[in-house]
Structure 1
């Protein structure tokens, strides 16, 4: 076992309350170093960025450290990391910026597997520009996004392809690189939603073929802050609307207003925390190498828990899994007989078992599956602080619900 789960759990103060958290896909609990970094920054003299005095220089150092941390986490470059309050806000920003160069006849490809934050900004931007929106369909039975369809969807007028690196509804992991290669061959850009994927496996944006990759720190033990990563040369020619005196250089010109320095300090602490999860990631390695080792160990551990959960669910009368992807992040959507998902979640919640219910903003998937009108589904998402005993607790509770 590469993860000392008892040691890891001790680093999450909120776990002391005793809840079993299967709601990580909606947001994880913050690690103690994150909380400390935010508090320390709030208690230290920090001014808006500048060079005239120590507090001003400190804020610049915090921003630079956070850019380097995110770059290490996803395999990007610090100069290509732009911050914002959420993945949704950043995606809207990039969509509005790119759409300035779209017009009638241009095409944008979105998927029915994605979270709506990687659908609606592109649909709305394309519509405003007079461009055409094309849809990649989900295989409802498996919950997967078939890659072959993109060869007919992508053509010479395709300007952007938006897709997820992992579904927050089914856990499916699309063939992002295969799809990106088709997009790039046609001269199109790719925008990859890594919000769900980043927390569960090593990430390398260049290997994915992602021109833009967005991630949210609160899905991987950090604060509510987000980053979108692109190569500096990808950012360089783009011109977002901005205030006249705000920075003219990338990535700063994509960051509206004063950044939250305390949250950026917490974000850096979260990346450092992730880098130290695995016992096989010695401190002598650089942070990128430690992150790769730790997230590889995380993936193996979480997958073992997911296998235990799936095996147990299939043995419970009345439990129906919404999808069965061949490979998945450790996220499972299900229904319990004819019980409304909200009622199942409430019953589990009364026992201290925290799950999600509804459509989790995966609107198009649940519409395609015919489940949205009747409440969506119940979601159990596993994170590296979960344990096998918590899996058994959830399975036992499900088996005892009267339906």
Structure 2
């Protein structure tokens, strides 16, 4: 069934403002069913988790619903789904958990392509442990990872890499990297925050040992999710309170969970699964077909956008990339952002925490970023192109 963007847009109250939003890589707009799930949970009845009162059972339902939804979304066991305040927080937490066993002479590999949230936690943990940090660079011609100049050794303990750059859109060959890491006996931690907003996630197929994503990048509330094998999680011993659960995944979740946020994150998965309404079968089957429809829709719009960017430098060149464009306009990027805002078009300028990308490619900060989202339509793209054209017109 063809992707019906007009029908989908009716579920987003914020689109009534007639704003064209191209800031999806920083966080998408929220559909009504997600907000309703948050409100319904908060207005309860609601208590801490338990098995006695209706309010306790509502909290338990929010947690189990969340784990089941993200088990389907990531294709991992329910016991392998960990909630966190954000992907950054989860990465910092797991850098501390994993670094407990690192010693001097161990090696940690990070990439120049990554958002700083999947760089600095590992660099700082390695420094504390006395481990060596090694880098995977970026090929300036292809804007893909340059894997020819890095080798993983028997001392490599962890490789951290993005599944998709949040500024260039580049999707590196995660399966190949996973194979190389595992052959060396290392673990692979994948930042899937940008990837999960545009592609069906299959953690086992990717070969990721840990995979983090952020529901607010794909229509949900602000939180983070980590997916992993429960057996692997069982091998980790996080610092925790004595009375708190020692079961997996609860041992990694500190304090009372935000039940309303979990309910909203679950609703986001259900909303995505229903994009292609003709699909029968499991929620995973529905997600598979819906995200294919979404991918085709966004690819068509990306081609439309790229085809109209005359006289504008676009930095992402990888063959396999998301519908996210990073652009330079001769030092006038902030002016362009303001000009577009005056036309009710949101396309921010900045470096977007991609510190290593900007340094490696010697990009001027800021650059202008335009990212497509499920609710983006052809009119939005044409408005952006017209706004950029009017800005650049002599």
* Pairing partner for 2:332 from 330, 340, 343: 340
Alignment size in residue pairs: 393
Q: Does 1:256 align with 2:254?
A: yes
**Alpha-carbon distance, 1:146 to partner:** 2.8
**Alpha-carbon distance, 1:291 to partner:** 0.3
Of the structure 1 ranges 348-357 and 166-175, higher mean CA displacement relative to structure 2 is found in: 348-357
- Superposed counterparts of 1:157-236, under 5 Å: 157-236=155-234
Does the Cα contact within 8 Å between 2:137 and 2:147 map onto a contact in 1? Answer: no
Distance in 2 between residues matched to 1:358 and 1:179, nearest whole Å: 29
Partner of 1:358: 350
Partner of 1:291: 287
- Superposed counterparts of 1:265-276, under 5 Å: 265-276=263-274
Distance in 1 between residues matched to 2:293 and 2:126, nearest whole Å: 40
**Alpha-carbon distance, 1:10 to partner:** 0.5
Residues 70-109 of structure 1: CA deviation (Å, up to 9, x unaligned): 1111111111000011000000000000000001010000
- Superposed counterparts of 1:2-401, under 5 Å: 2-150=2-150, 152=151, 154-282=152-280, 285-313=281-309, 316-317=310-311, 319-336=312-329, 338-371=330-363, 374-401=364-391
Structure 1's unaligned 5+ residue stretches are: none
Of the structure 1 ranges 45-54 and 195-204, higher mean CA displacement relative to structure 2 is found in: 45-54
Residues 204-246 of structure 1: CA deviation (Å, up to 9, x unaligned): 0001000000010000000001111101001001011111111
Distance in 1 between residues matched to 2:295 and 2:27, nearest whole Å: 18
Residues 147-187 of structure 1: CA deviation (Å, up to 9, x unaligned): 4444x2x1100000000111101001100000000000111
SS in 1 for 2:196: coil
Distance in 2 between residues matched to 1:30 and 1:401, nearest whole Å: 30
CA RMSD of aligned residues (A): 1.2
Runs ≥4 residues deviating over 6 A: none
The alignment's TM-score, normalised by the length of structure 2, stands at: 0.98
Does the Cα contact within 8 Å between 1:48 and 1:258 map onto a contact in 2? Answer: yes
Distance in 2 between residues matched to 1:148 and 1:281, nearest whole Å: 42
**Alpha-carbon distance, 1:310 to partner:** 0.9
**Alpha-carbon distance, 1:340 to partner:** 3.1
**Alpha-carbon distance, 1:381 to partner:** 0.3
Distance in 1 between residues matched to 2:188 and 2:260, nearest whole Å: 31
Distance in 2 between residues matched to 1:367 and 1:343, nearest whole Å: 23
